């Protein structure tokens, strides 16, 4: 690469080749009854200096939740009470003192509900596993 006179030149940057194998770490969050789930994710990321993580596993019950979902072609906001969660996914980033991301859940039951969590309170023992790169 070369530059002509007058071209913008970036400041020199130091770099290195990473030769060690990087592996994802798993952090397990176990909530008490009434804990705010999204607030718990934010607090955990702050305390452990995690910039980005993803939800890998879930087990337990949400005592209260507001879920945004689609039924057919209409957008709905559903209030859930004491609903078990079968699966969860999502990616979160912590930047500028704020949490960015969405928690998607798939509930248990005869008629499962799939959607993104607006707010959620955990039942005792609700567990989320977050994976991240150290």
| CATH 3.40.190.10 is held by the domain 25-132 | no
Per-residue model confidence as pLDDT tens digits over 106-125: 999 888 889 999 999 999 99
Q: pLDDT-based confidence at 4, cuts 50/70/90?
A: very low
Output the six-digit token pair for 110: 């005869």
| Per-residue model confidence (pLDDT) at position 12 | 58
User: What's the count of helices (H) and strands (E) in the chain, helices before strands?
Assistant: 1, 7
C-alpha dihedral (69, 74, 75, 81), degrees to nearest 10: -50
Per-residue model confidence as pLDDT tens digits over 94-111: 988 899 999 999 999 888
Per-residue model confidence as pLDDT tens digits over 37-84: 999 999 999 999 999 999 999 999 999 999 999 888 899 999 999 999
Q: Which of 83, 22, 95 is nearest to 52 (CA)?
A: 95
pLDDT above 50 (res 6): no
Output the six-digit token pair for 111: 């008629």
Domain residue extents for the chain? 25-132
Yes or no: say if 88 and 2 are a contact pair by the CB < 8 Å rule: no
């Amino acid at each position: 690469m070369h530059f002509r006179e007058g071209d913008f030149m970036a400041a020199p940057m130091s770099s290195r080749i990473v030769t060690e194998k990087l592996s994802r770490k798993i952090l397990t969050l176990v909530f008490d009854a009434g804990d705010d789930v999204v607030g718990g994710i934010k607090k955990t990321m702050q305390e452990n200096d995690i910039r980005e993580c993803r939800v890998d596993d879930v087990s337990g019950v949400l005592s209260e939740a507001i879920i945004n979902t689609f039924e057919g072609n209409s957008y709905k906001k559903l209030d859930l009470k004491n609903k078990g969660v079968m699966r969860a996914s999502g990616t979160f980033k912590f930047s500028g003192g704020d949490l960015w991301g969405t928690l998607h859940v798939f509930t248990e039951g005869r008629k499962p509900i799939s959607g993104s969590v607006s707010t959620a309170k955990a039942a005792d023992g609700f567990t989320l596993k977050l994976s991240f790169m150290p």
